[in-house]
Amino acid sequence: MTLYTILVNPESALKTVSHPVDQVDKIVQAQMQNMLETMYEAPGIGLAANQINILNRVLVMDLADVSGGENKTPICMANPEIIFESEERSVWEEGCLSLPENFAEVERPAIVRVKYLDETNTMQEGKFEGLASHCVQHEIDHLDGIVFTDHLSRLRKNIILRKVAKIKKDMDIL
Ligand SMILES: [Zn+2]
């Protein structure tokens, strides 16, 4: 098991559009497994590859903790693609491991369908709503170099980015 270091904003990798994987081979499988361990350790409910400075289109998520279940329910995706989004919108308070200790309400399509390659290199399609919908859209945003503050007003965004910059500075001093 390898725990990756999670990048804290600002970092160029967090602004980079990641490239698709050719297939989910053993190397990508190991990356997915290590990303899951890193996410559980953090703890978080989603993690995108560029948050650990790997610029491929891979993400992991697991909402088990917030839904009260003790059993892990990991989802691993490579090359995820939103193939449907509802006109209905949803607002959820989002946070991000790369923007620690800060949260804000983000509005997104309420329901999305996502096509992706799973950890066995099999094409899957899933429907996501509620928190899962926000989570998967948030992680796919990462793969396109977008963080959740990019959905906020400039004022709100700047407040959070300043707070995160201070947290990052304090982390570097320790
Ligand atoms: Zn995030």
Query: How far does the centroid of ligand 1 lie from the alpha carbon of residue 99, in Å?
Result: 7
pLDDT classification of 173: cutoffs 50, 70, 90: confident
172, 128 in Cβ contact below 8 A? no
Residue environment code for 110-139, b if the CB has 16+ CB neighbours within 10 A, otherwise e: bbbebebbebeeeeeeeebeebbbbbbbbb
pLDDT at 19: 98
Query: How far does the centroid of ligand 1 lie from the alpha carbon of residue 78, in Å?
Result: 16
Active-site residue, from 88, 105, 129, 139: 139
Average the pLDDT over 2-10 and give the result. Answer: 95
SS3 86: coil
174: Cβ contacts below 8 Å, ≥ 6 apart? none
DSSP E strand boundaries for the chain:
46-48, 58-61, 75-85, 89-96, 99-109, 111-117, 123-129
Rg of the chain over Cα atoms, rounded to whole angstroms, equals 15
**Each residue's pLDDT tens digit, 35-49:** 999 999 999 999 999
Average the pLDDT over 82-94 and give the result. Answer: 98
Farthest-apart Cα atoms in the chain, separation: 46
Closest listed residue to residue 118, CA positions, set 51, 60, 50, 72:
60
pLDDT at 50: 98
Cα 121 → chain centroid = 20
**Is the per-residue pLDDT at 92 higher than 60?**
yes
**Each residue's pLDDT tens digit, 129-140:** 999 999 999 999
**Each residue's pLDDT tens digit, 55-71:** 999 999 999 865 555 68
Query: Where do the domains of the chain lie, and which CATH numbers do they carry?
Result: 12-173 (3.90.45.10)
Query: How far does the centroid of ligand 1 lie from the alpha carbon of residue 128, in Å?
Result: 17
Query: How far does the centroid of ligand 1 lie from the alpha carbon of residue 20, in Å?
Result: 19
- Active-site residue, 139 included: yes
Burial status of residue 54 (CB atoms within 10 A of its CB: 0-12, 13-18, 19 or more): middle
**Each residue's pLDDT tens digit, 69-79:** 568 899 999 99
104, 152 in Cβ contact below 8 A? yes
Question: 16 forms bridges with which residues in the sheet?
Answer: none
